[in-house]
């Protein structure tokens, strides 16, 4: 009989690589880039404490399963890749129980760890005479801001267990990225979408009549802008790919230029910043429903996305430094 630990690794490897085929917030490349930038920003003590705690995560979360203790890479490289992968964990758990076979194994975990409304925090709005007018939310608008604050408290708590902190770190890594995707802070109301456009998911970029399986929408466009403009090519490994993209973004948007924008712990302000980009940078006059965005639009979207991913990484790294940066943090 296959050992449970090996079975768990194999099942989760399937889920990890399967999850990369789907687009959620930033795609997995985007989340890993922000985590890479955060890692570069973190002190050795913060890195050590975060990795140690993640490896003590609840067994049924399988967060610890992702850490491969042996391999040709150095421990420093394995630690970094592990940290980057954990930034995607909150999307991977969406796949728990997606097939009948997986559901038998993962259904309890799916209910425990998948929280769809934690990934966004929408501001409802509409355009009136060329101006942005905020609208009271007609329905539940997402809990990303509240959960970032909650996980911040758990990570800092002297009473929380390492198991609780591990899950909090994994969620914090992910949501810190999510909230910087502008459409995770927006629900645009139009005559076609009187209850909001679900963060651009209802704004189609493919012609009318396109089969549903082939439809592309504005949310997808922004989620995957970086990996589509600069795709992984040839024999480049995933680690080098993320590192190259992250380094390029850090060069364009160095920490020294972003330092005065960190607003650590001010999660509502993070959301407000992202939302402010929506009327000006996302729903530009040249963006048309049922049409592919122009080259000009794509270039601007890439610029905005790169800046947001860099800012998310710096904020994430400095937050984790403030919590886990001492030699005894989390002990």
pLDDT of residue 110: 76
Tens digits of residue pLDDT in 156-205: 999 999 999 999 999 999 999 999 999 999 999 999 999 999 999 999 99
Name the strand (E) or helix (H) holding 168.
helix 162-178
pLDDT, position 112: 84
Tokens 């802070």, located at residue: 185
What are the angstrom distances between the C-alpha of 25 and each of 15, 88, 117, 119, 216?
A: 17, 10, 12, 8, 15
Nearest-angstrom CA–CA distance, 219 and 225:
10
Q: Which residues contact 307 (CB under 8 A, 6 or more apart)?
A: 249, 252, 253
Q: Say if residue 5's pLDDT is above 50.
A: no
Phi, psi at residue 26, to the nearest 5°? -60, 145
How far apart are alpha carbons 247 and 242 in whole angstroms?
8
Measured CA to CA, the distance from residue 124 to residue 126 in angstroms comes to 7
Could you give the CA distance from residue 95 to residue 274 in angstroms, rounded to a whole number?
27
Query: What is the per-residue pLDDT for 233?
Result: 86
- Identify which of 13, 37, 191, 11 has the alpha carbon closest to the alpha carbon of residue 99: 11
Mean pLDDT value across residues 280-297? 97
Domains of the chain plus CATH, in order, are 4-324 (1.10.575.10)
């Amino acid at each position: 009989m296959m050992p449970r630990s090996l079975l768990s690794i194999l099942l989760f490897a399937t889920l990890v690589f399967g999850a990369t085929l789907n687009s959620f917030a930033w795609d997995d490349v985007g989340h890993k880039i922000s985590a890479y930038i955060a890692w570069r920003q973190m002190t050795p003590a913060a890195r050590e404490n975060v990795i140690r705690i993640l490896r003590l995560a609840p067994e049924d979360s399988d967060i610890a399963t992702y850490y491969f203790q042996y391999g040709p890479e150095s421990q420093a490289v394995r630690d970094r890749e592990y940290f980057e992968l954990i930034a995607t964990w909150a999307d991977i758990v969406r796949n728990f129980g997606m097939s009948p076979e997986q559901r038998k194994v993962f259904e309890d975990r799916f209910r425990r760890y998948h929280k769809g409304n934690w990934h966004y925090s929408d501001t409802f709005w509409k355009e009136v005479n060329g101006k942005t007018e905020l609208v009271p939310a007609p329905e539940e608008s997402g809990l990303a801001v509240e959960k970032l604050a909650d996980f911040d408290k758990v990570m800092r708590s002297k009473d929380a267990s390492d198991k609780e902190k591990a899950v909090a770190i994994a969620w914090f890594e992910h949501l810190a990225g999510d909230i910087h995707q502008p459409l995770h802070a927006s629900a645009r109301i139009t005559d076609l979408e009187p209850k909001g456009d679900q963060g651009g998911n209802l704004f189609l970029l493919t012609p009318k009549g396109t089969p549903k399986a082939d439809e592309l929408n504005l949310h997808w466009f922004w989620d995957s802008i970086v990996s589509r403009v600069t795709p992984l090519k040839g024999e480049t490994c995933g680690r080098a790919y993320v590192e190259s993209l992250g380094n390029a973004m850090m060069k364009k948007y160095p920490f020294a230029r972003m330092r005065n924008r960190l607003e650590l712990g001010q999660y509502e302000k993070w959301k407000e910043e992202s939302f402010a980009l929506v009327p000006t940078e996302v729903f530009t006059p040249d963006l048309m429903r049922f049409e592919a965005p122009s080259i000009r639009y794509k270039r601007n979207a890439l610029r905005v996305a790169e800046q947001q991913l860099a800012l998310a990484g710096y904020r994430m790294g400095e937050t984790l430094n403030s919590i886990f940066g001492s030699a005894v943090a989390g002990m």
